[in-house]
A and B are shown apart, each in its own frame.
Chain A
C-alpha cells in the first residue's frame, strides 16, 4: 500500500516550462497552480520581504488583464484564487468549476508573459503588506514565533537568516524597477512549473497549456544562489520580547537533513515520534504528564512549511509555551530528557509501526486537501510542484512513501544521534514583557 497510482502526465514546453497534469473526474472542478522556483530565501539583500511583496504585485495586473481582472474573472467563474510565498517557491493557484479551465490558463499565461504594474499599485500593495505583517506578527500574541525568531539565531548566511516578512524600511525602499528586475530574473517559464489537476482531460490540458504558454519567450536561468551555511560549532540562543502574550515561549531547532536522503526519511519518523500530536513524546511528556507546558508541537520545516517543501537549510523545530512557574532552563532540561532518552534507548518497532500508519494516513489527507477543504488537491499540487522543481521527478508523489515505510528503529536512533546534539541546535526564547500591575 505504499506504491500509489495517481495518474500523472508531464511534459516540458520548448521555452522550458514544465507542465504536469493529474486528472481525477470525481467532481466537476479543477485546480491549477503555477509554481516559480523562487522563494523568500534568496530575495535581494537590502530588500527583505521583497519576494512576498512581489507575489502581491502579481495580482495587480498583466498585459491583457489589468488590476483586479484576475480576481474578478476567477471569482465570477465560481472559483477561488490565492498565492503564497515559501522559503524556496512561490505559488499562484486557482480552484474553479472545470468549465473555466482555459480562462484560468489564459490568466496565468498572461502574467507569466508580462507584468503590467505602476507605482500606484506598488504603493497600494506595500500598504497592504504592512497591515498583513501587523495582523500576523506585530499586533498578535506570539506573532512570528518561532518562524521569524529562529532564522536570525540559527543562521549566518543572510539568505537563510533574514526577516522573510520584511523590515518596513526595506519594503519602503522597494521600487518598480526592482519589481520588473525580479520578474525578469525569476519568473521565466524555464523557472516554473504549471500544474493542472482534477476534472480535466490530459491531452486537452497539454494542448491548452501549449496554446497559452508556448509563445512566452524563454529567459536565462537565474544563476544558482549561495545558500550554504558554515558548519555550526555550538548551540546558539537568542531572546525576543513577547509584547502581548502572558506565557514564556521556547523554540528549539535542529539543523535537518537534505531532502530525499536516507537521513531525511529517518528524520521524518523521528519527528513523528517526537511531534506526532498528543501521542508524540514531546506533547505527552511536557503537556500531559509533567505539565510543565500548556502547548508543545513541532516538525521539520515547521511551522511555515513541511517535510517536502524546502530545498536548503532548515530546522526541525519544537515550539513550547510553558507555565510561568517553570523557568526556561527547567523547561529546556525537561525537553532534553526526552531527547537524551531517544538517543540512548531509541525507539521500538512497537512505537515505530503505528507512526508509519499515521504518516501514511496524513499523507493521503495532504494529497486530497492540505489547505482546508477550500482548494481541492492543494496538497497534491504542492507535492507535484516541489518534486518537479527540486527533484525533477513529479512521479515521486507515487513512490515517496516507500522510503519512509522502510525506516528501521536503528535508523531512527542513528539519525537522532546525528541531529539532536547541542552544537546542532538553536534556541529562541520569547520572554513576556514585564508589565506593571495588570
Chain B
C-alpha cells in the first residue's frame, strides 16, 4: 500500500491525493444520408444501453396555434403504430426488459428508452416504428386527453408549478417560452389531425438526433442503426418562431393566491442567456457560488443560519433561443419578507464584492468534480452527450469543459453577477395564502394578485 498519504493527526483534514485524469470516452458521430445525426458512446458498467431520439422541435413551434400540442403528440405517438396496438407495445417493451417514455419541452420532442443489450435490435426497431409509423388511435388520444386535463387541474394546486408558470409568463410574455402548460380549454380544442400533422412534419430524420450510450461496440451499433433508420424519408423543418420579448422593467411583485397554504413558495427571476453564449460558464460558476450548491451562500444563509426553508436553490436555465436565471425557496409564511431581504442581500453582495480565492477555488472544484461524476453511469454520459450535441455546441465542449471552468477568475464571477443577477429588475413571484403574505410582499412593491387559474384578482 503506497499511494495514500498519512494524515498528520486525527484532527487534520486529509489532503486530496493526485487526481486521476478525467477522460471523456471516445464517441462515434455520424450523420446518415437522410440527415439523422447519430452519436454513440460505449459504457460497460451494466449489460444495458440507454438512448434518446430527439427532434429539434417542441411546444414552441405550436404555441401560436395550440400550446402543448408537441407534448400531446409525443404522448399519443407511443400508444399505437401501424403494426402494434398499445397493449402490444407495452408488452413488447416488458419482454425486452425495456423502458420507454416520450414527451416534449419547449424546444425538443423526445423518445427516451433503455433496455438490455440482448434486445437492442428489437428495441431500436420499436423506437423506429414509433418515430415513423405511429397510428394515433382515436380512443387512445381521447384517454390521454382526459388524463392530461386531470393532471392540469392538479398542477393548479401545486405551489411550485404555479410559481414557475407565473415567472415564465412575466419574463417571456407572449413568446412561446412564456407558457409552460396549456389550459384545459386549449387541450379540449386539440384535434387528432393536428397531432398527425405535427408528427408528419417534425418527426423527420433531418430534424433528429439519436444519442446512445451502453454496453455495445459503437461501429457494430452504428451499422445496426443505419439498417433500421436508414430508409426513413427526409424532410425539411423550419426553425421555431422567436417573437419579440416583453420589456421587463423594474422590480415587480406577483402574488398567486392559493388559499389555505401553510407555506409560501418564492421564485425570483431574470432573463439570462443560452448555453451558447460566451458568458455561460461564468454564469454557471456565479450561480454555483450564489445558490447552486449545498455549500452556496444562499443555502448557508436562509437554511443553515436562519432556518427559513428546507431546499433553497438558484439555477441558470438555458432554452434554445433565450435563458433565464431563477432563485426558489419554500418558506414559512411569517418570514416571506425576511427571506426576500436575504435573497437580495446575497444577490447584491455577489454584484458588488469580488469572490475571494478560496471560495472561487472551491466552486471551480465543485463544478469540475460533479462533471466527473457524470462519467460513471450510462445515464450520466447520455445526459452530457445530449447537452453538448442537441444545441450543436463545439465538438470539444465536453473534453475542454473542466479546463475552461478552472480558468475562470473572480472578475468573471463579478461580471456575470452584474449582468445576470439583475436585482433592480428582478421579478418576484410568491405563491401562498394572500391574507398571510400580501403585506410582506407589498414591502417589495405593489403586488399584482392572481388566482390559481391565472386570472387577475
Contacts and interface: CB of A to CB of B under 8 A. Distances in A.
Same complex: yes
Interface of A: 24, 26-29, 63-65, 67-68, 71-73, 75-81, 95-103, 106, 123-132, 134-135, 138-142, 198-199, 201, 203-204, 207-208, 211-212, 215, 243-247, 276-279, 284, 287-288, 291, 294-295, 321, 323, 354-355, 357-358, 360-362, 364-365, 367-369, 372-377
Given A102-B4, A106-B13, 10 more contacts: A26-B43, A100-B16, A103-B14, A127-B332, A198-B376, A278-B90, A288-B143, A360-B116, A362-B97, A373-B383
B116 to A, nearest CB: 5
A71 B18 CA distance: 21
B295 to A, nearest CB: 4
B372 A28 contact: yes
Nearest to A104: B14
A124 B330 contact: no
A373 B377 contact: yes
Given A64-B10, A139-B159, A141-B157, A354 B95 contact: yes
Given A73-B13, A294-B146, A368-B46, A355 B307 contact: no
A68 B332 contact: no
Interface of B: 1, 3-7, 10-11, 13-22, 43-48, 86-87, 90-91, 93-99, 114-116, 143, 146-147, 150-151, 153-154, 157-159, 258, 260-263, 293-295, 300, 303-311, 330-332, 361-363, 365-366, 368-370, 372-380, 383
Given A64-B10, A243-B260, A367-B46, A354 B94 contact: yes
A364 B46 contact: yes
B97 A28 contact: no
Given A138-B263, A368-B377, A131 B159 contact: no
Of listed A97, A138, A211, A284, residue having the most chain B CB within 10 A: A97
B294 A75 contact: yes
Contact of B21 (A28, A64, A211, A376): A28
Of listed B18, B147, B331, residue having the most chain A CB within 10 A: B147
Given A72-B362, A102-B17, A368-B377, A247 B150 contact: yes
B181 to A, nearest CB: 15
B375 A29 contact: yes
B49 to A, nearest CB: 11
B46 A365 contact: yes
Contacts of B303: 128
Given A99-B16, A361-B116, A28 B22 contact: yes
A163 to B, nearest CB: 16
A20 B290 CA distance: 37
Given A132-B310, A135-B311, A288-B86, A373 B375 contact: no
A138 B258 CA distance: 13
A434 to B, nearest CB: 13
13 contacts: A81-B294, A106-B7, A131-B307, A138-B263, A203-B1, A204-B4, A215-B10, A244-B157, A291-B143, A354-B94, A365-B46, A368-B377, A373-B374
Nearest to B119: A357
Contacts of A125: 307
Contact of B373 (A80, A140, A204, A367): A80
B376 A124 contact: no
Of listed B43, B260, B294, residue having the most chain A CB within 10 A: B294
Of listed B20, B150, B293, B377, residue having the most chain A CB within 10 A: B377
Nearest to A113: B10
B45 A134 contact: no
Given A294-B147, A294-B150, A361-B116, A134 B263 contact: yes
Given A76-B361, A355-B94, A361-B48, A95 B373 contact: yes
Given A103-B16, A124-B305, A288-B143, A29 B372 contact: yes
Nearest to A134: B263
Contacts of B383: 373
A381 to B, nearest CB: 13
A78 B373 CA distance: 9
Contacts of A141: 154, 157-158
A276 B14 CA distance: 46
A106 B13 CA distance: 7
Contact of B376 (A68, A354, A376): A376
B260 A357 contact: no
A130 B332 contact: yes
Contacts of A126: 307
B373 A291 contact: no
